[in-house]
With several copies, the nearest count.
Chain A
Amino acid sequence: MKKRIYLDYSATTPMKQEVLDEMMPYFTEKFGNPSSIHSFGREAKQAIDLSRERLAKAIGAKAEEIFFTGGGSEADNWAIKGIAYANRDKGNHIITTKIEHHAVLHTCEYLEKNGFEVTYLDVDAFGHIKIDDLKNAITDQTILITIMFANNEIGTIQPIQEIGQITKEKKIIFHVDAVQAFGNVKIDVNDLNIDLMSLSAHKVYGPKGIGALYIRKGVKLHSLIHGGAQERRRRAGTENLPGIVGFGKAASLASENLEVHIQHVKTLRDKLIKGIMEQVNYVRLNGHSEYRLPGNVNFAFEFIEGESLLLSLDMLGIAGSSGSACTSGSLDPSHVLMSLGLTHEIAHGSLRLTIGDFTTEEDIDYVLQELPKVVDRLRQMSPLYEK
């Protein structure tokens, strides 16, 4: 069989067998609608309650502060639009960064067309915002600060604790997109003063199509999906029962295994970075060397273009990504890489390899053996490359 090495864990993860096992009964046997009074409904309801508690526990929240959604993007949209519309009378200003996921950026852009003002904070060469920029951006109209915990492309982790201190002092609502951070960084919403936080199950070995929004008790926001009384009347729609069950299990596993997971992926990540840096010229590591997701590698190879790099690797059975999966339909260079101050050429030549629990040392060895050859082959074809 052809080798298949998956190094795109930040795009999505395979589900763990334990997660699938836990979901299985809920497809065909325990299939009730949790809103129903009868026994089928009650066993469904119990399963959802358990998942809610598991998720709450994983982030230091209370069960009633967890609201399930159809994914991370819905959670981001809900948090941002919901807070914006609910606080229109208090102000119309939102602060975010230039390197957010599109689920945040495009939502903010939509709000800009509807009377809101948005400040997009710059980041430094490593992807960090500057705390002073943030402080200076705050006005008496600022109703929401939304900053991602960790970036999906370059893995840079923001100083969330410091930001939380500021939003707390200034009494501004703080939303954090933790879709990439969850399961890779220890998160306690109270320690960090986070008011709302977006999560997505498929990034932590859980099912696709299920996410959650943490909403601190007392925080008011408009609903995004109106209808039935599900999720304490805040998010309508028959619950994705197996999805919720799977997310609960995945969240439990993620927090139980956090240390082991970090150790595993970090070791492989460092080996990969070191190996490439030693073998290949004209390459840089995008992102921060220290404040970085444990499984994230993002190289910029000069003189070559990302898609041809990806395709070549794919032919060798290595699955990576250039920029985020969500934007790969686009031909524009990644907005994140451009925000770091990279030139277009270099942004175009970036390769993200993200490591996960199923990655082995042999996988990394294989990449270290093949990737330099691929880079060289493409450089030989490139009009920009002069040995």
Chain B
Amino acid sequence: MMYSEKVMDHFMNPRNVGEIENADGIGEVGNAKCGDIMKMYLKIEGDVIVDVKFKTFGCGSAIATSSIATEMIKGKTVEEALHLTNRAVVEALDGLPAQKIHCSVLAEQAVKSALLDYARKNNLQLTGLEDFDPTEDHHDHHDEDEQ
């Protein structure tokens, strides 16, 4: 398994680590059983994400995807952040090994989950989150080739 330089950079020097007190939206996805939990805090002013922080228990790629995801949504509108896909996260990191794609899914979910929390708290209806289920499990532990 080989990580890109970008991944290693975000893993070793993660941006926006921490918590936000009185955050406007908090999302938590993953579970400790699978070895990964991502927690994301949003500070939203007007329609804009003015601050974002994360805490992650997980593999190197989970930490790197959390980090880059916070960068990618900071300063963006809620609407824009809603369109963050795991694919965009993977691309921004110059790729991820096949068995690590699900970590990027986790990052996308963490953002959505925090936005959902923000929407609920503010009684907003966010298009694109209707079908979103943050508890869905995207782990795929086995290779197709296994006998």
Contacts and interface: CB of A to CB of B under 8 A. Distances in A.
A307 B145 contact: no
- The prevalent SS among residues of A at the interface is loop
- The prevalent SS among residues of B at the interface is mixed
A380 interface: yes
A229 interface: yes
A90 interface: no
B114 to A, nearest CB: 13
A232 B55 contact: no
A221 B99 CA distance: 23
> Which of A221, A306, A308, A380 gathers the greatest number of chain B CB atoms within 10 Å?
A308
B145 A232 contact: yes
Contacts of B37: 383-384
Contact of A305 (B3, B14, B59): B59
A335 interface: no
A37 B1 contact: yes
B71 to A, nearest CB: 15
Nearest to B14: A381
Interface stretch (A117-125, A182-190, A325-333): A325-333
Interface residues of A, number: 35
A233 B17 contact: no
B39 interface: yes
A303 B139 contact: no
Contacts of B63: 308, 381
Interface stretch (B27-35, B43-51, B87-95, B120-128): B27-35
Given A304-B57, A305-B58, A383-B28, A331 B141 contact: yes
Given A233-B147, A331-B139, A345-B32, A381 B55 contact: yes
Contacts of B59: 305, 307-308, 311, 331
Interface string A205-243: 000000000000000011100100100111000000000
A332 B56 CA distance: 18
Contacts of A307: 59-60
10 contacts: A232-B143, A233-B147, A308-B11, A308-B58, A311-B59, A344-B34, A345-B32, A383-B28, A383-B39, A384-B57
